[in-house]
Structure 1
């Protein structure tokens, strides 16, 4: 898989760090600034009083910025915690899929009398699903770029079985797509699927069906959670 290197820090986190650094610098320098102002305006206590009041107003503004920085830090921490929970859930799903690949009798989608050919097709479907789940997670964490995702999806859809698989698997990836990056992932994969289908002249689902909005789900983390899509 193509990678784009380490992910960049979120803009909100960088802004919070910059704001905190500026506030610390202002607090540390404030005694020196007041001392300089006292020497310049010695004897003019009314003017010094005005300066003190102005400094109090500035302190209130700086306190507001500090509060904003704390809120942004908490928001970033919550987002990172959510990503960690999703990664843990997907890791568990990967383990369950691997168990099914090792022992197909654990799968609820295969009949007891499934032929060797049916089991082989089912295993290929599971492998494709695991591949797209990996691409999805890597795209969300910015481990791969949109161009790298297009390249990987285009290579996968050169296989006619993969082109036939995506319309069946797509609802599991669109269910709960409330985040912009979730919708964008499906959009990029759809584009590559259409391009590969048009290039090969193979059958595909109608364009209107591929563009149907996903029904509102009960949870937002269930996209791509189905283990048996074949």
Structure 2
């Protein structure tokens, strides 16, 4: 599962807020949001690595969830703009879960249940939640960089095998007068909305709902095709 994750960074610094561009030919009508700047045409533009969403500039982050591992890819410009220190970035506060730099991207890769990940399971899903955090660097009482926190969650549905009892009714098209045949047959089942509707139904349903299926016999002679209506 590979998804785009758009996150508003949580920063604890006082000096990485609004950026303005001096010498703009047209001033922006309003104060630009955090992680953006006023362009020469008088509009607010998000910094590199950020996307405009609902009036805010949010980090463009790629989150890839697999059955055994989680990968997070963040553009290096996001860290530079937010004044985050890559050297202090870890997952879940675990100093052994650090990032690697590949080109212009910062990569975090770890096993699903590693790096102090919180694992929650119920009857239908398993979720893995954690966060990336960065710490400020203090040297000679001077603080460099800023503290940040980027939360994320991967959710996996469970696969369940169920059996469904059903009554089959033959469609009443005239059938040729042939001897009955018994044996094993390959049948396709399709979930439908009701008794008579062939439109495909929902794939997610409650266990106490009435389910309707249409079944068709595969690879059969068309003169002997039998269709189960329900």
Name the TM-score class by shorter chain: under 0.3
Greater relative contact order structure (CA < 8 Å, 6+ sep) = 1
Normalising by structure 1, we get a TM-score of 0.25
- When you count strand as a share of all residues, which structure comes out higher? 2
Normalising by structure 2, we get a TM-score of 0.25
- When you count helix as a share of all residues, which structure comes out higher? 1
